[in-house]
Structure 1
Amino acid sequence: MQLDGITTGYERKFDWPPYEGKPRPYLLASVPRTGSTYLSHLLWETGCLGAPLEYLNFEPSGPYGHVSNSPPGQLGLWQQVVPARTSPNGVFGLKAFPLQMELLGRSNPPLLARAMRFLLSGGAQSKVVQLRRRDTAAHAISLARASLRGIWRAEQESERRREPNYDAAVVEQAIRELAAQEDAWTQMYREMGIRPLVVWYEDVVANPDATVSDIAAYLSVELDPSLSVDVPSIERQDQSGTREWRRRLENE
């Protein structure tokens, strides 16, 4: 990811030796501001559940922004990433948001089709882990503030950007955007007959080990502590501004 001075996990030094067999893929389906990066790093750290990051995020500011306008470059990266980010036991994970899939469908339909065949070739038996948030108000506030501040990770908070004024309209827009993206996943599950494993952000924070164990069981993967790997740490962002926005929202 293109963030100066910040290690994000997309760097080549975190690759495993290329996996030579047929990977067992799963999709980590989420929407923005669910703590999906935190969960993806927890899964990756096991060394047994792949490294489910946003390998199809080709937005200019995203992890592979240098090929944002190059469909051949995007295909080349995908072909490189799959074996390099498949854990030694053959598990590959992809984290994705509906809007990323929508953008890829417009800019590079062949790659989207290829990736979806790979991830969901099992039809109703395909493995999908969906991360959601129970507290929809906090979720919308998180998205609204991040959008206004341009700060998406704790490491960026050192830039000391101004705290934005509370804006009810922006919160309402965030609520609609998040609901639309959740609906997009639901539509995909309905069309393919998929029953995802739903995990909740609040449960991940309260008991991360139990969440990882549940996901491993769903994927029929036996966790081996000796295979664990070092991954970049994920810090929680400061919550003081969020609490003030929550107070304003409840007063309304």
Structure 2
Amino acid sequence: MTESDDSEARAALAVLGPEFDLPPTDAPLRPYVICASPRSGSTLLTTLLHGTGRMGVPAEYFNPIHLQPKLGARFGVSVGGPRVVAAGYLSALAAHRTSANGVFGAKILLSQMQSWIGVPQFRDLLARSTFLWLRRRDKQAQALSLVLAQATQVWHRDRDAAPVETVPRFSAGEMRRALGIVLAEDFAWREFFTINGVHPISVAYEDLVTDPDVPCRALAEALGVPDLPRLTLQQAVTRPTAGEANAVWRRQWRQSLRFRRDRPAG
């Protein structure tokens, strides 16, 4: 599969171009970090925040496969492959992706956080940041989304696109693997916040898709941004990917755990 065929890569690279750079600002930096896990709704959240024009250009800037190496090369801080000059990369991000009001945002996964945590300038950025923890209450749905995205390579759905109805063959083993990933991510983020004495704004995916204005406004208010426009799900450029395959796999997963065939539960 080429990069152009990989919708995950396309989503990560969507903010690569200079058209997403913002004019320099003298406003004091007000950074925020979206702490995410796979299939937690982070692309939906970042595109909504970017669309306000007041919350920077939040993106997965520390993705070592997609955005980091290409953006590092464009900013002139690449040292080959995915490697970048860390201090230069952070400075370039702040210079090019900060709103006029000083707000800069980034989305990061746990593995990316751990890769950068040894960089002093990155730790300084974290020390100044407001944290938002985005997760899903329904871990089964999150695991289903991860398995099916990997199987179909449909990671994101554009606003006007129909859900993919291809149903891959069910695999209980793949479901166990995906559940292990999402549960481990959730546990590790909790440890990260406890170890660092951080009290993040906690946002559930289920609440985000019900009314995105509430969590987005909570983040904006924590950053001292009072003039955020009203946000609705209809403004998002992406939509949830769940379709018939998710329902089929959920039924089959539950069936694989059932021994009381005469009294089905749920």
Cα distance in 2, alignment partners of residues 65 and 168 from structure 1: 36
2:262 aligned residue:
none
Q: Is the 8 A contact 1:9 1:232 kept in 2?
A: no
Correspondence for 1:44:
50
1:120 is matched with 127
> Do the aligned residues in 2 keep the contact of 1:48 with 1:88 (CA within 8 Å)?
yes
How large is the RMSD of aligned CA atoms in angstroms? 2.8
Contact 2:31 2:104 in 1 (8 A): yes
| Structure 2 equivalent of residue 177 of structure 1 | 181
Q: Is the 8 A contact 1:17 1:84 kept in 2?
A: yes
- Secondary structure of 2:181's counterpart equals helix
Q: Give the C-alpha shift of residue 205 in structure 1.
A: 0.6
Report if aligned partners of 1:33, 1:139 keep a CA contact under 8 Å in 2. yes
1:153 corresponds to 2:156: yes
- Write the distance in 1 (CA, Å) between the matches of 2:40 and 2:222: 20
Match of 1:200? 204
Q: TM-score, normalised by structure 1?
A: 0.81
- What's the offset of the Cα at 1:75? 5.1
Q: Which runs of 5+ in 2 are unaligned?
A: 71-77, 257-266
**How many correspondences in the alignment?**
234
1-side partners of 2:214 and 2:225: how far apart? 14
Percent of aligned positions that are identical: 30
Q: Give the conservation status (yes or no) of the 8 Å contact 2:137–2:206.
A: yes
2:112 corresponds to which residue?
Answer: 100
Distance 1:171 1:23 in 2: 42
Partner of 1:85: 97
Q: Secondary structure at the match of 2:195?
A: helix
Q: Tell me, which stretches of 5 or more residues in structure 1 are unaligned? A: none
For the Cα contact (< 8 Å) 2:32–2:104, is it kept in 1? yes
Partner of residue 71, structure 1:
83
- CA drift of 1:20 comes to 3.3
Question: 2:98 & 2:58 partners in 1: Cα distance?
Answer: 9
1:234 is the counterpart of 2:232: no
Asked if 2 retains the 8 angstrom alpha-carbon contact of 1:19 and 1:84, the reply is no
Q: Could you say which structure has the larger radius of gyration? A: 2
